[in-house]
Amino acid sequence: MDASGRSKDGEGDDESKTKNSASSSNSVVDESEKASSSGVRPYVRSKVPRLRWTPDLHLCFVQAVERLGGYERATPKLVLQLMNTKGLRIAHVKSHLQMYRSKKIDDQGQGTDFVLCISYNGLRY
Q: Which amino acid is at 69?
A: G
SS (H, E, C) 11-53: CCHHHHHHHHHHHCCCCCCCHHHHHHHHCCCCCCCCCCCCCCC
Provide the pLDDT for residue 107.
86
Provide the pLDDT for residue 81.
97
Q: How many other C-beta atoms lie within 10 A of the C-beta of residue 74?
A: 21
Provide the pLDDT for residue 49.
81
87 forms bridges with which residues in the sheet? none
120 forms bridges with which residues in the sheet? 123
- What is the C-alpha separation between 125 and 120, in angstroms, rounded? 8
Quick: pLDDT tens for 78-112. Answer: 999 999 999 999 999 999 999 999 998 888 887 54
* Residue numbers of the chain with a pLDDT score lower than 70: 1-37, 111-125
Model's pTM, two decimal places?
A: 0.54
